[in-house]
Chain A
Amino acid sequence: MLDGFSAEMLARIQFALTVSFHIIFPAFSIGLASYLAVLNGLWMRTRDETYLTLFNYWKKIFAVAFGMGVVSGIVMSYQFGTNWSVFSDRAGPVVGPLMAYEVLSAFFLEAGFLGIMLFGRERVGEKLHMFATAMVAFGTLMSATWILSVNSWMQTPAGFSINDVGQFVPEDWWQIVFNPSFPHRLAHMVLAAFLTTALVVGAVGAVHLLRDKTDKEARRMFSMAMWMAVIVTPIQIFAGHEHGLNTFEHQPVKIMAMEGHYESHTEGWAPLYLFGVPHDAEQQLDYALGIPGLGNLIFEKPLDTPVMGLDTIPDDEQPPVGIVFWSFRIMVGLGFAMLGLGVWSAWARWRGSLYDAPWLHRASILMGPTGFVAVLAGWITTEVGRQPYTVYGFLRTSDSLAPVDAPAVAASLLAFIIVYFAVFGAGTVYILRMMNKPPATPKLGLRDGPIRTAGITPAPQVDPDLIPGE
């Protein structure tokens, strides 16, 4: 069934599949870890049991999601070598150490403190437990920092030279880590993770509010989530815009693809296309619906500034426009839908009907998974938009491939598809089942209680009474 594909295309699909599955879990756990830290902090400050109940509810969901993130992450650290060995050889001296730092600092930080966060409250005391919870949140953010530095370097490489065997050799680590697109990408992704989590929390709160609008915990989490939606969404739209300006400066071809600008506008007044059907072969946007001039304004250029299009770029330097054009529109469209939800909730809150607005609650449920969709769409935009390069401008994707035969890549791709859908499908079902129970439910699973998914914490054994063998 995969006969028609080249080894390169199969390897690209495989990487896209494994990294797409993987990004879902960090997108959720980065936000949720911070949310848990906030809940725990509020519990310690206010001693309001609602916060504690919510903390205990979400931490169990966090544990399952984190477990899936761990296993899908192990796969990622080997994918570079199995399918992209030439990339690994060439770019390894630069991206390898950054990824080693990710593993060393973040992975261990999370794995180390997670156990205390999950089970340690009674055992290590409230303060140390709060510290551990904060460290888990910090660990997820560190993880994001390093890995986004790697990705950004591939988009806007800096601080390197190329040696005689074609390897990228680090010259200035500061320039490598803080390469031009890194700060923007980091801000955009971390905000996306917060927003994604807020939408999930809001949807779960809404489910329980629809069943019982007096549910204390549901009210609290819905309210918190809607604050996030109304405050963070505008910030995120701004951050996304800034990120776009940065891309315009450093990767203009990607912007041309995102905007569907096959044609140059030498007189200025470039349109902003709202809709269209890109055709790479004919190099034109069919059924285009655009607003003249807005294409200039959105990039903060005077109306009469020329805006170049893909007609100035050789065909073999262009990314596939259709994918980038549409994934970008999906992301932006969902972003504005999130803003709409936030504004609606603010209106309902002002009217005093936040907890008694069934249609708002239904809309929140509908919007629950959209954060993930937007994150995936955004990553597709930036990654496909980087094509045909892995290291932008320096190393082509077709030159990055491992010398592995197409049948081997096809076989492993099929195995990944089957296993990922089965395993992460089951995991998603279990998570949804837990979310379906009200927060005050003492047992979320069949046999619930402390979940030791991860962490090498000594916490449960600190109490001497619990070491019967000694």
Chain B
Amino acid sequence: MVFDLAFIWAGLIAFAVLTYVVLDGFDLGIGILFPFGKSERDRDLMMNSVAPVWDGNETWLVLGGGGLFAVFPLAYAIVMPALYMPITLMLLALVFRGVSFEYRWRTERKGLWDVTFFGGSFVAAFCQGVALGALVQGIEIDGRAYAGGWFDWLTPFSVLTGLAVVVGYALLGATWLVLKTEGDLRMAMRGHAWWLGAATLVVIGIVSILTPFQDPIYFERWFNLPGSLWSMIVPVLMVFLAWSFFTGLNDQSDLRPFLSALGFFVVSFIGIGISFFPMMVPPSLTIWQAAAPDSSLAFALVGAVILIPIIVAYTAYAYWVFRGKMDPSEGYHS
């Protein structure tokens, strides 16, 4: 392992992707849960709870994609054609979902944009999960290009990871609403959080058991020292988070279920990182092979080092002052 520019950038890209999942996961989850909003008022509240933050959150997706292009152009050039269908579908779904925030308030046919909001969120989440699954499976490379067909991504495993992300994001959405709302809506979402939490843990469990069999390297990493130490720690952390999640729900805590659910994602992400490293695109492209020349990495790093902390600080501040329950009468579209 070398602590060089490529390594730093791999860390930054991983950070951007994790930040994206943590931030946009719950607001996509709100969309996935839209059919569970019983009344129009409930749905208004649900949407308004993320209206101020959704597009700042999605900017991290642009940073993930743009960052990959900038510093790992070869990985970008291989992964995008390999995941052509899920990526294209995700983008189209995000278009529908994004404009629903605005359009919904500009027409009497609100129902139409309710459906697009739900459908867009669901499909975007599913495609992200599929993309992840396809990446874990490994991508066939010939020379400097993707060598597979345009349906290689579609396997039972990738469908499973797609559903896992949908369920997980819905859980994040439900716990976010437990945190942000009061009364009936909160009670309903707390009810959904129970089964969504259980379902998320089950699918994470299944995916975790299947992952080591996707590639012998993963198997070795998890079941031989020193990697097997991790395979002890990660499940233990998960059990702790699960305990924290369910007791949090039981204790009527506002914040604990949401943070624990985020923890599920962070720990899973670390687990994926352990499987992947030092590969950028499993099974054969390493971080160093995929990296752009140092002159590109250094130039981009200057901007990243200055701006990412500012962005993180600003985002944290925004969430801090935005904390607490929503006031239904102060709807952002009222």
Interface positions of A (Cβ within 8 A of B): 63-64, 67-68, 70-75, 77-78, 80-82, 85-86, 88-94, 96-97, 99-105, 107-108, 111-112, 115, 119, 163, 165, 167, 169-171, 173, 402-405, 407-408, 412, 415-416, 419-420, 423, 426-427, 430, 433-434, 445-458, 460-462, 466-470
Is A452 a contact partner of B51 (Cβ separation < 8 A)?
yes
Which residues from chain B contact A102 at a C-beta distance below 8 Å? 66
Q: Which of B59-74 contact A (CB under 8 A)?
A: 59, 61-63, 65-71, 73-74
Is A447 a contact partner of B333 (Cβ separation < 8 A)?
yes
Which residues from chain A contact B314 at a C-beta distance below 8 Å? 108, 112, 456
Is B303 a contact partner of A70 (Cβ separation < 8 A)?
no
Is B59 a contact partner of A99 (Cβ separation < 8 A)?
no
Out of B48, B53, B105, name the residue touching A456 (CB < 8 Å): B53
B148 to chain A: closest residue by CB: A403
Q: Say yes or no: A456-B69 contact (C-beta < 8 A), given A85-B81, A170-B293, A461-B322.
A: no
Confirm or deny: B292 has a beta carbon within 8 angstroms of a beta carbon on chain A.
yes
Which residues from chain B contact A86 at a C-beta distance below 8 Å? 77, 144-145
Which residues from chain B contact A75 at a C-beta distance below 8 Å? 91, 95
The total number of A-B Cβ pairs within 8 Å is 277
Is B296 a contact partner of A454 (Cβ separation < 8 A)?
no
Contacts A77-B66, A78-B80, A85-B78 aside, 9 further interface pairs with beta carbons under 8 A come to A80-B76, A80-B80, A81-B76, A86-B144, A104-B303, A108-B59, A111-B59, A452-B51, A461-B321
Confirm or deny: B218 has a beta carbon within 8 angstroms of a beta carbon on chain A.
no
Give A33 Cβ to nearest chain B Cβ, in Å: 16
A167 and B84 alpha carbons, distance in the complex (Å)? 23
Is B70 a contact partner of A446 (Cβ separation < 8 A)?
no
Give A442 Cβ to nearest chain B Cβ, in Å: 13
Most chain A CB inside 10 Å of its own CB: which residue of B61, B77, B92: B77
Give A260 Cβ to nearest chain B Cβ, in Å: 37
A102 and B107 alpha carbons, distance in the complex (Å)? 34
CB-CB nearest 4 A-B residue pairs: A92-B73, A81-B80, A469-B325, A469-B324
A469 and B180 alpha carbons, distance in the complex (Å)? 9
Which residues from chain A contact B293 at a C-beta distance below 8 Å? 93, 163, 167, 169-170
Give B309 Cβ to nearest chain A Cβ, in Å: 11
Out of A85, A94, A101, A447, name the residue touching B77 (CB < 8 Å): A85
Is A104 a contact partner of B63 (Cβ separation < 8 A)?
yes
Bitwise, B295-334 to A at CB < 8 A (1) or not (0) is 1100110011001100100110111111111110010111
Confirm or deny: B79 has a beta carbon within 8 angstroms of a beta carbon on chain A.
yes
Out of B57, B65, B89, B325, name the residue touching A77 (CB < 8 Å): B65
Is A419 a contact partner of B96 (Cβ separation < 8 A)?
yes
A92 to chain B: closest residue by CB: B73
Is A457 a contact partner of B307 (Cβ separation < 8 A)?
no
Out of A63, A104, A470, name the residue touching B323 (CB < 8 Å): A470
A102 and B48 alpha carbons, distance in the complex (Å)? 29
Q: Say yes or no: A73-B62 contact (C-beta < 8 A), given A96-B296, A100-B67, A446-B108.
A: yes
A85 and B145 alpha carbons, distance in the complex (Å)? 8
Is B318 a contact partner of A458 (Cβ separation < 8 A)?
yes
A452 and B98 alpha carbons, distance in the complex (Å)? 12
Give A368 Cβ to nearest chain B Cβ, in Å: 20
Which residues from chain B contact A452 at a C-beta distance below 8 Å? 48, 51-52, 101, 332-333
Out of B67, B69, B101, B296, name the residue touching A453 (CB < 8 Å): B101
Most chain B CB inside 10 Å of its own CB: which residue of A88, A97, A416: A97
Q: Say yes or no: A423-B322 contact (C-beta < 8 A), given A85-B80, A430-B107.
A: no
Interface positions of B (Cβ within 8 A of A): 48, 51-53, 55-59, 61-63, 65-71, 73-74, 76-81, 84-85, 87-89, 91-92, 94-96, 98-99, 101-103, 105-108, 144-147, 149-150, 182, 292-293, 295-296, 299-300, 303-304, 307-308, 311, 314-315, 317-327, 330, 332-334
Q: Say yes or no: A96-B303 contact (C-beta < 8 A), given A67-B98, A81-B76, A82-B81.
A: no
Which residues from chain A contact B65 at a C-beta distance below 8 Å? 77-78, 81
Is A115 a contact partner of B62 (Cβ separation < 8 A)?
no
A92 and B68 alpha carbons, distance in the complex (Å)? 9
Is B55 a contact partner of A70 (Cβ separation < 8 A)?
yes
Out of A96, A103, A446, A453, name the residue touching B102 (CB < 8 Å): A453
Which residues from chain B contact A119 at a C-beta distance below 8 Å? 332
**What are 25 inter-chain pairs, A to B, with CB distance below 8 A?**
A64-B102, A67-B102, A74-B91, A74-B95, A74-B98, A78-B87, A81-B79, A89-B145, A97-B300, A100-B63, A101-B303, A112-B311, A169-B295, A402-B81, A402-B84, A404-B150, A412-B85, A416-B92, A430-B103, A447-B333, A451-B102, A455-B56, A458-B320, A461-B321, A468-B327
A81 and B78 alpha carbons, distance in the complex (Å)? 8
Is B303 a contact partner of A470 (Cβ separation < 8 A)?
no
A202 and B269 alpha carbons, distance in the complex (Å)? 52
B149 to chain A: closest residue by CB: A405
Is B324 a contact partner of A100 (Cβ separation < 8 A)?
no
Give B130 Cβ to nearest chain A Cβ, in Å: 15
Is A449 a contact partner of B62 (Cβ separation < 8 A)?
no
Which residues from chain A contact B304 at a C-beta distance below 8 Å? 100, 104
Q: Say yes or no: A82-B145 contact (C-beta < 8 A), given A77-B65, A455-B56.
A: no
Is A97 a contact partner of B81 (Cβ separation < 8 A)?
no
Is B62 a contact partner of A77 (Cβ separation < 8 A)?
yes
Is B81 a contact partner of A403 (Cβ separation < 8 A)?
yes
Is A454 a contact partner of B73 (Cβ separation < 8 A)?
no
A327 and B322 alpha carbons, distance in the complex (Å)? 49
Which residues from chain A contact B55 at a C-beta distance below 8 Å? 67, 70, 111, 453-455
